Amino acid sequence: MLDVGRHPNIALLAYSEVEKVEGQAGDFNVTVRRKKRYVEKDKCTGCGACAEKCPTKVSDAFNEGLGSRSAIYSYFAQGIPSTHTIDPDFCRQLKGKKCGICEKVCQADAINFDQEDMIITLDVGAIIFAVGYDVFDPSQIPEYRYREIPNVVTAMEFERLLSASGPTEGHLDRPSDRTVEAEIATLEKNLKKSKRTLEKLEKKYDQTSAQFYNQYQQGQYQDDRDEQGRKKWADKYATHLAIMEPLEALKKKAEGFTVAKKLAFVQCVGSRDFRFYPFCSGYCCMHSIKEAVIAHEHEPETTSTIFGMDIRAVSKGFEEYKIRGGNNSNISYVRGRVSEIMEGPANNPVVIYEDTHKRQVESREFDMVILATACAPTKGIIKLAKVFGVALDKYGFIKTSPLSPVDTTVPGVFVCGCAESPMDVPESVAQASSAAERAAEIAIQLRSEKEKAVA
């Protein structure tokens, strides 16, 4: 990533979208919209002072909604470019409220609320599509109860929980436990505030709140000359008690929290399923094994069960990785498809499945269930394909033919990575180099023609 930002031959147009294309191979004219960030890219140093002080907190898409970020943000800590961006959907200032804190704290004077979109045109000889994929939304499968059961997560969400730079700093805290902890934090904050108010009142009346409240309830202060004041104190103390009770209950519940140690991985969620995508997404078997291996590295007591029709470990070193996972990382493989996920006691998901080796329908309780979601064509691809005139296949990936796997239906336009079909990182890299070479053929041919003309 860093190399891209530094390379003299690469002009990086982040936060931009292609709007229009004209011409043909060797001579395309492309219109690109550079969206306004409300931050001057040449001035922003990426220091993050603005994000620290921004009062608006928003769900963080990079962390799959498991963490929060500010309305002014960098997409992720190591992101290139490091230029910050203001989210116009949430920024108080842009929503017409009074704020502008980021503008005040920015030492580089980079904030510009009056910035406009920039339209630029590019002349290029060849184009490469590398628009990637979308994670399949498993809430379309009602029997897996994703979003209903908090401890059922997607593989990408689990990846963020495992990551040291993620919302839990790599600790496998369960989403249901994190919700309780967040509630405790809010209640504690409120309690602190109410304690301060009560302390002031106790000082004023020279009595403890508990003593006073007891007497007040017995009717001692009914005709007090400071009846209003006493009533206010009693109300404040009642609110205080109303915070204390649920807080104590939640704290007691949180005492039993540990990291997730019993994990279930459900394969083929959306893939190899005629209701959604009949194809195999290819990388999910290995992805699940890898996540189970890493979870075991973090916590040696972790046991993982991978439920799948078969484990497809088809590439260099993959089968060995699968066996090593089974031998060294407490992974067991169950052949069978999960039919339903229910919620058991203590927010534990219960997986109901058929073990086809035993020919038995069984159910098992886990700390967390991870859904190996399909590789779905990205939503924006339909619009982009229309702009370029390239054909899509029946699923919505870019159409290619087996003997020219990086050529689209438009000459001079090439494709690589998951825009073409589901594939893993090594395959994406190999296909990217292949697409780069095909594009270079056009560029280099043009260059030599130009050189000949000059000679």
Partner 1 sequence: MSQDVLVIGGGIAGIQASLDLADMGIKVHLVEKLPSIGGKMAQLDKTFPTNDCAI
Site for partner 1 in 393-452 (CB under 8 A): 416-419, 424-425, 428-429, 431-433, 435-437, 439-440, 443-444, 446-447, 450
Quick check: helix, strand or coil at residue 170? coil
The distance of closest approach from Cβ of residue 176 to partner 1 in the complex, given in angstroms and rounded to an integer, is 22
Q: Could you tell me if 17 and 32 are in contact, meaning their C-beta atoms sit under 8 angstroms apart?
A: yes
Query: Is 78 one of the binding residues for partner 1 (CB under 8 A)?
Result: yes
DSSP annotation of 138: G
Question: Binding-site residue total for partner 1 (CB under 8 A)?
Answer: 90
Query: Is 281 one of the binding residues for partner 1 (CB under 8 A)?
Result: no
Query: Is 164 one of the binding residues for partner 1 (CB under 8 A)?
Result: yes
Burial code of 211-233, b = ≥16 C-beta within 10 A, e = fewer?
A: ebbeebeeeebeeeeeeeebeeb
Query: Is 58 one of the binding residues for partner 1 (CB under 8 A)?
Result: no
The distance of closest approach from Cβ of residue 180 to partner 1 in the complex, given in angstroms and rounded to an integer, is 25
All residues at 6 or more sequence positions from 374 whose CB lies less than 8 Å from its CB, including other chains = 136, 268, 269, 270, 271, 273, 276, 277, 281, 284, 422
Which of 102, 127, 97 has the alpha carbon at shortest distance from 112?
102
Query: Is 75 one of the binding residues for partner 1 (CB under 8 A)?
Result: yes
Whole-number Å distance between alpha carbons of 297 and 306: 17
Whole-number Å distance between alpha carbons of 342 and 174: 16
Q: Which amino acid is at 438?
A: R
Encoded one letter per residue, x for contact with partner 1 by CB under 8 A and - for no contact, window 130-159 reads: xxxx-x--------------------x--x
The distance of closest approach from Cβ of residue 289 to partner 1 in the complex, given in angstroms and rounded to an integer, is 7
Query: Is 62 one of the binding residues for partner 1 (CB under 8 A)?
Result: yes
Which of 61, 138, 164 has the alpha carbon at shortest distance from 369?
138
Among 83, 209, 305, 348, binds partner 1 (CB under 8 A): 83
Query: Is 286 one of the binding residues for partner 1 (CB under 8 A)?
Result: yes
Among 80, 99, 101, 108, binds partner 1 (CB under 8 A): 80
Question: What part of residues 193-212 is at the interface with partner 1 (CB under 8 A)?
Answer: none
Piece of 92-100, 211-219, 236-244, 288-296 that binds partner 1 (CB under 8 A)? 288-296
All residues at 6 or more sequence positions from 12 whose CB lies less than 8 Å from its CB, including other chains = 4, 5, 80, 81
The distance of closest approach from Cβ of residue 411 to partner 1 in the complex, given in angstroms and rounded to an integer, is 14
Helices 155-162 & 284-298 angle (0-180, nearest 10): 30
Diameter of the chain measured on Cα atoms: 109
Question: What part of residues 294-323 is at the interface with partner 1 (CB under 8 A)?
Answer: 294, 315-318, 320-321
The distance of closest approach from Cβ of residue 168 to partner 1 in the complex, given in angstroms and rounded to an integer, is 12
All residues at 6 or more sequence positions from 405 whose CB lies less than 8 Å from its CB, including other chains = 420, 431, 434
The distance of closest approach from Cβ of residue 423 to partner 1 in the complex, given in angstroms and rounded to an integer, is 9
Q: How many whole angstroms from its chain centre is CA 141?
A: 20
The distance of closest approach from Cβ of residue 134 to partner 1 in the complex, given in angstroms and rounded to an integer, is 9
Q: Measured from the CB atom, is 374 or 439 closer to partner 1?
A: 439
Question: What part of residues 14-33 is at the interface with partner 1 (CB under 8 A)?
Answer: 14-18, 26-28, 30, 32
Q: Measured from the CB atom, is 159 or 177 closer to partner 1?
A: 159
Structure tokens at 273: 């399923």
The distance of closest approach from Cβ of residue 36 to partner 1 in the complex, given in angstroms and rounded to an integer, is 12
Q: Measured from the CB atom, is 98 or 316 closer to partner 1?
A: 316
The distance of closest approach from Cβ of residue 79 to partner 1 in the complex, given in angstroms and rounded to an integer, is 3
Query: Is 287 one of the binding residues for partner 1 (CB under 8 A)?
Result: yes
How far, in Å, are 17, 32, 36, 414, 418 from residue 119 at the CA level? 10, 6, 11, 24, 28
Q: Measured from the CB atom, is 123 or 206 closer to partner 1?
A: 123
Among 56, 74, 168, 281, binds partner 1 (CB under 8 A): 74
CA dihedral 195, 198, 203, 207 (to 10 degrees): -110
Quick check: helix, strand or coil at residue 123? strand
The distance of closest approach from Cβ of residue 251 to partner 1 in the complex, given in angstroms and rounded to an integer, is 31
Query: Is 263 one of the binding residues for partner 1 (CB under 8 A)?
Result: no
Which of 372, 338, 373 has the alpha carbon at shortest distance from 355?
338
Burial code of 274-283, b = ≥16 C-beta within 10 A, e = fewer?
A: eebbeebbbb
Among 50, 71, 91, 127, binds partner 1 (CB under 8 A): 127
Query: Is 391 one of the binding residues for partner 1 (CB under 8 A)?
Result: no
The distance of closest approach from Cβ of residue 317 to partner 1 in the complex, given in angstroms and rounded to an integer, is 4
Query: Is 64 one of the binding residues for partner 1 (CB under 8 A)?
Result: yes
Piece of 12-20, 193-201, 227-235, 356-364 that binds partner 1 (CB under 8 A)? 12-20
Which of 277, 243, 233 has the alpha carbon at shortest distance from 377?
277
